[in-house]
Chains A and B, each alone.
Chain A
Amino acid sequence: GAGVSQSPSNKVTEKGKDVELRCDPISGHTALYWYRQRLGQGLEFLIYFQGNSAPDKSGLPSDRFSAERTGESVSTLTIQRTQQEDSAVYLCASSLVSGAGNQPQHFGDGTRLSIL
């Protein structure tokens, strides 16, 4: 498929453990976004990557959260020392960037993270 791919689709872990979530964007999409969606709530922006520019990390809720992206490919979101309030769906999106600006964001189906 040509869509945004996220793995794992579900993750259950114990409080205090580290977790790593993966996002494979659509080929050719230089912009990549991570969002968090808590139950019954809208999407909350976490971090934005665009090409080789410094990422916009302004949405990361604490220093336990970090993300990396190598070039214009895969991104990983890492949560260290997980807490129960980290339980949520983590969504990744990617988009093309053109002369008219960023184009529509295409979303993956997310990783459902549950912290016991």
Chain B
Amino acid sequence: QKEVEQDPGPLSVPEGAIVSLNCTYSNSAFQYFMWYRQYSRKGPELLMYTYSSGNKEDGRFTAQVDKSSKYISLFIRDSQPSDSATYLCAMSEDSGYNKLIFGAGTRLAVHP
């Protein structure tokens, strides 16, 4: 069993839809949770970062962490074609961002 499980998709939605992306994990020591966006042939870029359980909102993006269920989510509101990318969840035990453990990534396509 992988430490972090993420449905690879692809997920195809119409422009304006609300998108829900999810990861589950098995290591209860994970404390830091991140979402990265990766466009084709580019490196990942950090979208959201949360510590422990709770919600965090940034513009159209909301990250949720439920440590009791070992489940994290990223919601994208009013999705745009420019959101089409692969979304990777990542998590870490240590303070800060050392040695991230990544999910496999979910490919998202937002069509006009």
Contact = CB atoms under 8 A, between A and B. Distances in A.
Contacts of B105: 41-42
Nearest to A38: B104
Given A45-B100, A59-B99, 20 more contacts: A33-B99, A41-B105, A42-B4, A42-B88, A42-B103, A43-B44, A43-B88, A43-B100, A45-B99, A91-B44, A100-B96, A101-B96, A102-B96, A102-B98, A103-B96, A103-B97, A105-B46, A105-B97, A106-B46, A107-B43
Q: Mostly helix, strand, loop or mixed at chain A's interface?
A: strand
B49 A45 contact: no
Interface size bucket, B side? 20 to 34
Nearest to A9: B41
Nearest to B97: A102
B102 A107 contact: no
Contacts of B98: 31, 48, 101-102
25 contacts: A40-B8, A41-B105, A42-B4, A42-B90, A42-B103, A43-B44, A43-B100, A43-B102, A45-B101, A48-B98, A59-B99, A93-B43, A95-B97, A97-B96, A100-B96, A101-B96, A103-B96, A104-B97, A105-B46, A105-B97, A107-B43, A107-B44, A107-B45, A110-B43, A112-B41
